[in-house]
Amino acid sequence: MTNDNHNLVERIRQRESEVRFSHTLRMVEVAVSLSECYGIDKELTWRTGMLHDIAKELTKDEMVSIAQKYGHTISETSIIYPENMHAEVGALIAEHEFGLKDRDALNAIKYHCTGRPDMSMLEKIIFFSDYAEPHRPNPELLQYLYQIAKTDIDEAIIRSLYERIKYQLYHNVPAAICELSNNIHDYLMAKRFGWDKSAKEENNHAELLSDKEFDNALEVVLRNGIGIHSVENIRSVGGFPTIDGRTVKNGVLLRSGSLSRLTAEDADYLTKTFGLSMVIDLRSSEEIKMSPNVVIAGVRYENIPLAELDTKRMDTLTSLYQHGETAGEKAWYLAKFSKIDALGKLYHNFFDDTFSPNAVKRIFQLLLEVDGAVLFHCTSGKDRTGILVAILLYVLGCSKEDIISDYTASALSLFTNAEKFKSVLKKQGYSTELQNNLHKILSVAPENLHAFLYDIEQSYGSQREGVLKAIGLGQHELEALRDKFLTDSRCADGKNAGME
C-alpha cells in the first residue's frame, strides 16, 4: 500500500465507526475483484469504494451544512428519503476534502444508494458491491449473485433489484425511491432484450439461467421428465441424494401443471407406469372452476390451495385469452395480464400466517397416509408447486443446490410457452416493458427460491425439522416421511460428499 493510500485509509478510519469502516473494507474487496473482471482501474475502484460511505454517519443538519458550504442544492430524492442523502453529500466530501476528481468515480459515490438507469461500469460495480458485501442479510443469495456478477453484472443487478424492490415495498419506502429502482430494472431489461439477437437466439436460456443453472436443470429434465404431452411441465421428483446417504425415490412423487387437458391415453400411462393414486391440486376453487381437472378413474383427488391468492383477474384474462379469436385480441389480454403481480408475495412471509402452513401440514399428512404415487400441481407447476416441492425436498434432507435445480427445471419446460406468448405482444407492437413484465410472470427466477430457503433458515435455523415443527408436525413425522420417500441404502458414514 502506498503512503497516499495508507493516509487515505487512516483518514477514513478516523471518520467512520468500527462497524461502518468494516463494511467499507468488505465492500471494497468485492468492488476491486469485480473491477479485475471488467478491466476497470483497480486503484480508482479502490479509492471510490473507500470513500463511498464517508458521509454515512453524519447528521442530516451536518450534511445540509456541507452541501451549502460547497454551493450544492440537495436533490429532491434525498429530501424525500434522507437515508440516501449521505451518498450525494459523500460525493462532495470525496471531491472537495479528499481530492477525488474523476467524474465517473464521483457519480459512483453519488448514486451508490439509488443507482440510475445509464450507469457506467464503475457505477455498476460500486452500486452492486455495496449491496452484495458478504455481511449483508442473506449471504448465500449474495454469493450466488456475486458469481453471476463476475461475468454478467447487468444480470446480477437485475436479480438484486428484485430483492431491493421487495424490501422497499415491505418497508414503506417512498414511492419516488421505489420508482428509481424500477426505472433501473426496466432500463437494464430493455437493454438486455435489445442485445445481439443472433446470440440471443443461439443461447435463449441465458436471460433466465446461468450456464451452471441451465446444465443442472437440464440434467433434472432429462432424468425425471415424463413423456406425455397433454400436461405441461410434468416430471418426477426423484434421484436427489440426501444428508443421511439415501436418495429420493424415483416415480413416487410427481409434479406438473394443470391436468385440465390430460388425455385418456396419458392418464392411463400415469396410472400404469407410476401407480398414481392421488392428485393434490394446489389451486384455488375459482381456478378449478375455470379449468377443471380431468378425472382419472381410481385416483383420489384433494384440493388444498397452498396460498390465499386473488387470482380471479388472472383467471378471467387467461380464459379470455384462450377464447380470443384474433392475434390482436389475444395480445390485448396478454398486455393486461402482464401488469398483474398476484404471485409477487408468495415467496415472502410464507410461514407468517396460518393458511399456508396449515395447507402444507395437511399435504404432508396425506403423503403419510397414501399408498402409491402422488402428483402435485397448480396452474403451470412452477410457483406454488415449486414451493411445496422445495419444502418437501428440504425436510427430506436434499441439498439446496439440488432443490434449486429441481425448481429451475421448470424454466426449461415452460420456456417455449413464455416465448410464444411474448412474441404475440411483440408482433402486435406492444412495448418492451410489457413484453418483459409478461416474461417475468411466466418465467422461473432461481433467486426467488434462494430467498425463500434463506427465509426458512433465518426463521427456523439450519435444523430441517424446524420447518415441520412450524407447520405442527414433529420428529416422528419427519422420520416417517424420510422412510417412505427415500431409498433404504445409506453411505457407510451416513453422509454424501459435498453435502451438509
Rounded to a whole number of angstroms, the CA Rg of the chain reads: 25
* Largest pairwise CA distance in the chain: 81
pLDDT at 122: 97
Dihedral of CA 413/419/422/423: which sign?
negative
Average pLDDT over every residue of 446-451: 76
The pLDDT of residue 196 is above 50: no
The tally of CA atoms less than 13 A away on the side-chain side of residue 361 is 13
175 grid coordinates: 414511492
pLDDT tier, 334 (very low <50, low <70, confident <90, very high otherwise): low
Beta bridge partners of 374: 253, 278
Cβ contact 44:107 at 8 Å: no
In angstroms, the CA 347 to CA 400 distance is: 16
Residue 173, C-beta contacts closer than 8 angstroms, at least 6 positions apart: 81, 167
* E-only strand ranges, 314-470: 373-377
Residue 129, C-beta contacts closer than 8 angstroms, at least 6 positions apart: 27, 28, 30, 31, 34, 49
Query: Domain limits of the chain?
Result: 3-193, 216-485
pLDDT at 91: 97
pLDDT in tens, 12-30: 999 999 999 999 999 999 9
Q: For 292, phi and psi rounded to 5 degrees?
A: -70, 150
The pLDDT of residue 234 is above 80: yes
Cβ contact 466:393 at 8 Å: no
The domain defined by 216-485 folds into: Protein-Tyrosine Phosphatase; Chain A (3.90.190)
The domain defined by 3-193 folds into: Hypothetical protein af1432 (1.10.3210)
In angstroms, the CA 182 to CA 436 distance is: 13
The pLDDT of residue 170 is above 90: no
pLDDT in tens, 271-280: 999 999 999 9
Cβ contact 265:290 at 8 Å: no
Residue 369, C-beta contacts closer than 8 angstroms, at least 6 positions apart: none
